Amino acid sequence: EVQLLESGGGLVQPGGSLSLSCAASGFTFGTDSMTWVRRAPGKGLEWVSIINTGGTYAYYADSVKGRFTISRDNSKSTLFLQMNSLRAEDTAIYYCARGNNAQYWGQGTLVTVSS
Amino acid sequence: DVVMTQSPLSLPVTLGQPASISCRSSQSLVHSDGNTYLNWFQQRPGQSPRRLIYQVSYRDSGVPDRFSGSGSGTDFTLKISRVEAEDVGIYYCMQATQWPGTFGQGTRVEIK
């Protein structure tokens, strides 16, 4: 059974940093690209970032480019999202998903950016 | 970026009746490999999103056959043949043909 378990969310002040993790199991992690998606309160889903299988190529939404960094450790079947210079509008539930087409999703981790 | 536009944004439906959601893209979603990477997701209240349909019309494992997807190019549709109570939630289309991926605004399905 495919499982994706996000962690690392919490309350952070504007301008602060946070690092999210997504532990994967039930599939060969290194053979799939991985995606981060978020949903802000009262808003719809927003695609955030994607990384290829080897971790050598990443792409970001304009809203997070230059502030967020996606990475992965295939030996530990774990996906990461380093979030710097956080803003109030980054407040959201962050989901990791398997593949370009988001076949499976985790339960999400809540990030709150507030003073 | 490809803009995805869904309609309607709110869809009250009577139990047992059909429902249809439209999704239009600002550019053709046909990839250079010939496939069309248009997906549909359901997000029930308090749950994570779940993929229902991929590549326009292929149902994911475990998805009831009352859900169907169709369309081509820039025009796509999700249909529910007979709405059940468990179908309440928000439905999103998402294109993965071109990065960044983009979602529609979401369509809220509720029971009348």
Q: What is the pLDDT of residue A16?
A: 98
Residue range B59-80, pLDDT digits in tens: 999 999 999 999 999 999 999 9
One-character DSSP codes across B34-53: S-B-EEEEEE-TTS--EEEE
How many CA atoms, within 13 angstroms, populate the side-chain half-sphere of residue A8? 18
Among A115, A104, A49, A108, CA closest to A82: A49
H/E run at residue A96: strand A92-98
How far apart, in whole angstroms, are the C-alpha atoms of residue A86 and residue A99?
26
List the single residue in A44, A100, A107 with the smallest CB-CB distance to B96: A100
Identify the contact set of chain B against chain A, taking CB-CB distances under 8 A: 1, 37, 39, 41, 43, 48-51, 54-55, 60, 90, 92, 94, 96, 99-106
* C-alpha triplet B25, B27, B28: angle, nearest 5°: 95
pLDDT in tens, A57-93: 999 999 999 999 999 999 999 999 999 999 999 999 9
Strand partners, A80: A21, A71
Q: Alpha-carbon torsion B78, B81, B83, B84, what sign? A: negative
What percent of chain B is modeled with pLDDT above 70? 100
What is the average pLDDT value for chain A, to the nearest integer? 97
Kindly state the tokens that stand for B103: 């979602």
Task: Give the whole-angstrom CA distance, residue B51 versus residue B29.
Answer: 18
pLDDT digits (tens, 9 = 90+) for A41-50: 999 999 999 9
**Where on the phi/psi map is residue B74: left (φ > 0), alpha (ψ -120 to 50), or beta?**
alpha
Q: Which two tokens stand for residue A93?
A: 């539930």
The answer to whether the Cβ–Cβ distance between A47 and B39 falls below 8 Å is no
Position A18 confidence tier, pLDDT thresholds 50, 70, 90: very high
pLDDT the model gives residue B66: 98
pLDDT at A91: 98
Chain B touched by A104 (CB under 8 Å) = yes
Structure letter (DSSP) for residue A114:
-
Question: pLDDT confidence of B14, banded at 50, 70, 90?
Answer: very high
